[in-house]
Structure 1
Amino acid sequence: MEREKLPTMFSLAQSDPEQAIIPRADIPAQDLEQIDRIMAEFGRLRAVERRIMLRSQSYMKLNETDMRAIRQLISAKHAGEAVTPSLLARHLGVTTASVTKMIDRLEAGGHVIRKPHPTDRRSKQVEVSAETHLAAREQVGRHHAKRFDVARNLSSAERDVVIRFLAGTSDALQDSLDGNEPQATEPGK
C-alpha cells in the first residue's frame, strides 16, 4: 500500500519563511528537519483521521455532531453513567433545544433510545442503540485499535516520550487558545 505523501504546509521554511513566528537561526538543520517531519506526520495523521471520520459518518448516515454524541453515549454506557439531554448538550457545546432535535432525529433513525432516568423520575436518559453501538465499533473502533497496536509495540521509555510530547503539545495549544502565551516578536528584537 502506497503511503500518502507528507504535507509540506507544516514545513517551517514554507509556513514561516521570515521566522516571524518561530525564530530558529540557532537550531541545527538536522533538528529542524526532524521537527518538520514531526509536524508533517501530525498533518498526515489529522488527514487520515478526518477520512476515517468522514467514511464512518457516511456509512452511518450521521453528521459530525451526531457522531460526537454517539461517542459520548458509548463512553457513558461503558462507564455505567446515565446521560440526560442537558448533559449531552453541555458535552457538545450546543443548546438543549438543538440536542432535543438531534435526539428526535437519532431516535427516528434507530440510533438512540430514550429511557426513564434510573435515579431521577422527572428526567429521561439517552442511550445508544445496540445496532449503532455495533456499527460504531466496526467503523471507528477497529481504526482506533490500530493506534493501540502501534503504542503496544513501543518500549516503555518510548511511550513516556510520546506521552510527554502529546501532553506538552496539548497544553501549549490550549494555552494559545486561552491567550496565555507571550506575543511573538520580530527576529533579532
Structure 2
Amino acid sequence: MNAGSSVEITHDERVRETLLALRSLTDSLDRMHGALKDAMGMNGTDLAALRMMVIREERGESVSPHDVARHLHISTASTTKLLDRLTAAGFVERHRHPHDRRSRIVVLTKSLRQTFGEHFGTRMSPIRDVVEQYNDQDLAVIGRFLSELSQRIEDTQ
C-alpha cells in the first residue's frame, strides 16, 4: 500500500465494526454490573431492579411492584420476595400510589442513593472521561443512537 493511498471502508464493514463494538461494550457493562453487585452484596436480579428504578426515577416515572415484575420477567411472588429483601436492606420503601390509593409504588431511599453513588460513581468516572472527549454535536448523535437502540431492544421484549 502506498503512503498516500487510503482504503475505503464499506458501509457493511462499518456496521460490522459498530456491532462488534456494541458486543464489547455490553460485555464490559456486564462485568461492571457483576462487580457492582458483588461490592453491594446483592444478587443480579436485585441490582437490575434497582437500576430500573433509578432510570425510571430520573425520568420522573413512578414504579409499581407490577412494573418491577414485568421488567425482570419474574412472577409477582418473586417480586414480593425481591422487594422484601430490598426493603430490609434499606434500599426501597413501599408507599401508597399518589393517585390510586389501592396501588403501591416503590421508592428509592436516601441510603440507596448514597450506597449506589459510592459504588457506581467510581465506575462511572472513566466512562465520563471518555464521553467528555466528544463535542456537543457528536454527543447528540451518540445519545440519539443509544436511545434509539435501547428503545428497539425494549420493544422486542
Q: TM-score, with normalisation over the residues of structure 2?
A: 0.69
Query: What's the secondary structure of 1:113's corresponding residue?
Result: strand
Partner of residue 45 from structure 1, selected from 16, 22, 25: 25
> Is residue 102 of structure 1 aligned with residue 82 of structure 2?
yes
Q: Distance in 2 between matches of 1:84 and 1:167?
A: 23
| Matching residue of 2:55 | 75
| Matching residue of 1:86 | 66
Greater RCO, CA 8 A, separation 6+: 1
Deviations 1:122-174 (A, max 9, x none): 12221122212211122224433533332232134544664576578x39x85
Q: Distance in 1 between matches of 2:142 and 2:28?
A: 19
| Matching residue of 2:3 | none
Q: Distance in 2 between matches of 1:59 and 1:70?
A: 14
Q: In the alignment, residue 133 of structure 1 is paired with which amino acid?
A: R
Q: Distance in 2 between matches of 1:61 and 1:139?
A: 11
- Aligned pairs, number: 146
| Matching residue of 2:46 | 66
Q: In the alignment, residue 57 of structure 1 is paired with which amino acid?
A: K
> Is residue 125 of structure 1 aligned with residue 108 of structure 2?
no
Query: What's the secondary structure of 2:27's corresponding residue?
Result: helix
Q: What RMSD, in angstroms, separates the aligned Cα atoms of the two structures?
A: 3.3
Structure 1 gap ranges (5+): 1-27, 179-189
Structure number with higher helix proportion:
2
Q: In the alignment, residue 87 of structure 2 is paired with which amino acid?
A: E
Q: Distance in 2 between matches of 1:116 and 1:166?
A: 34
8 Å CA contact 1:115, 1:126 repeated in 2: yes
Structure 2 gap ranges (5+): 1-5
Q: Distance in 2 between matches of 1:159 and 1:145?
A: 17
Q: In the alignment, residue 78 of structure 2 is paired with which amino acid?
A: S
Identity between Structure 1 and Structure 2 (%) = 29
- Of 48-57 and 133-142, more deviation after overlay is shown by 133-142
Q: TM-score, with normalisation over the residues of structure 1?
A: 0.60
